[in-house]
Structure 1
């Protein structure tokens, strides 16, 4: 697994991957004081509004990149044991 390190023993815990840090970039739009200005205008819209609209496809692109770069990784697997659904079903013993 290149670029990632597992945490835990595959028991359903979160996994670390450096690509996931890229998902923090869309949260920059929450820094409203950075973009709370009227100029420059685009088609009569103040900067505050059109930059929010432009941020949507940018965020979608970031999520797509992270998905493509991490989709080949296998998630943690949980072995089937006595705790699977069929064993827990009380009606199965009747």
Structure 2
């Protein structure tokens, strides 16, 4: 699951992939809205990876 965290890096660091003005979305060139779209996508990916990892309860650690 942690490999999902590489998707934003690959998607955003390869600038020639999205260095275009068309198609526009609400007047924003593709260059800008593509980058802005990665903000919620990255948050969702981080949440998915976080939820997939096992966590120890703080209460259980204090009792040991």
Name the TM-score class by shorter chain: 0.7 to 0.9
Q: How many residues are treated as equivalent by the alignment?
A: 55
After TM superposition, which residue ranges in structure 1, 4 or more long, deviate above 4 angstroms? none
Partner residue, 2:3: 21
Give 1:21 shift. 1.1
Distance 1:33 1:69 in 2: 33
Separation of aligned partners in 1, 2:13 and 2:47: 20
Q: Residue 61 of structure 1 corresponds to which residue in structure 2?
A: 44
* Offset from partner CA, 1:16-47 (integer Å, 9 cap, x none): xxx11111111021111000000000111100
Q: Which has the larger radius of gyration?
A: 1
> Which structure has the higher relative contact order (CA within 8 Å, separation 6+)?
2
- Determine the C-alpha separation between the residues in 2 that align with 1:50 and 1:21: 24
Distance in 2 between residues matched to 1:34 and 1:45, nearest whole Å? 17
Could you tell me which residue of structure 2 aligns to residue 41 of structure 1? 24
State the TM-score, normalizing by the size of structure 1: 0.55
Higher relative helix content: 2
